[in-house]
Amino acid sequence: MNHLFKEGSDLNNTTLLLLHGTGGTERDLLPLADVIDPEANVLSVLGNINENGMARYFKRLAAGVFDEEDLKFRTKELNDYIDEAAKEYGFNRDKVVAVGYSNGANIAGSLLFHFKDALAGAILHHPMVPLRGLNLPDLKDTPVFIGAGTNDPICPPEESTELETLLKGAGSDVTLHWENHGHQLSSTEVQAASKWYTAQKNRLN
């Protein structure tokens, strides 16, 4: 998968997996990584689905309607790629924390839904419930931050609260943070995610 990798202060410490929104690039979330943990390794992956010239991580049938079979396939593809990248670059596969926005947050959520050890933790900015009707793996050691919008027209508040409920039901320690900026990723939301990450750092490392 097209990507960029930046080695941090220690390959054995956290690697931030950056996953952009629809139409984004692998460079979009680099400023977030600098705020969240400037010493972390960074693996930023470009979505390899092209939707009318916009990069995405999986196909959709319509706005807000996911192609579930493609989502499952792409989730496994991404998980396998993280395994390969860990071998290539030498970072600790057990200390990968996803930072995803919108479409990127959705596939990060799908990683949590499908694979017990895919992520050590996740920061999900404006995610939806990736799939329903799944038996989630045990996520008691996988803390999650959800950044949501009370007036988000793309990701309704009900999606955020349902995702929180599902993740908590699987044992995850979930923090749900609300903003009032629609689907926009605001600086205050990023700061809240950074504060959460700092508080969780001992668990994530």
Residue 102: active-site member: yes
Q: Which of 149, 146, 142, 160 lies closest to 193, judged by CA?
A: 146
Exactly one of 177, 183, 186, 194 is catalytic; which is it?
A: 183
Positive or negative: CA dihedral 149, 150, 154, 156: positive
Residue 126: active-site member: no
Burial of residue 62 (CB within 10 Å: 0-12, 13-18, 19+) is exposed
Pair of tokens at residue 78: 């991404």
Exactly one of 102, 110, 160, 172 is catalytic; which is it?
A: 102
Q: How far apart are CA 143 and CA 173, in angstroms?
A: 5
Residue 37: active-site member: no
Pair of tokens at residue 49: 């689905």
- CA dihedral of 116, 117, 119, 125, whole degrees rounded to 10: 0
Strand-pair category, 3-6 with 144-149: unpaired
Pair of tokens at residue 125: 């900015």
Exactly one of 28, 152, 160, 172 is catalytic; which is it?
A: 152
25 Rama sector, left if φ>0, alpha if ψ -120 to 50, beta otherwise: beta
Residues involved in catalysis: 102, 152, 183
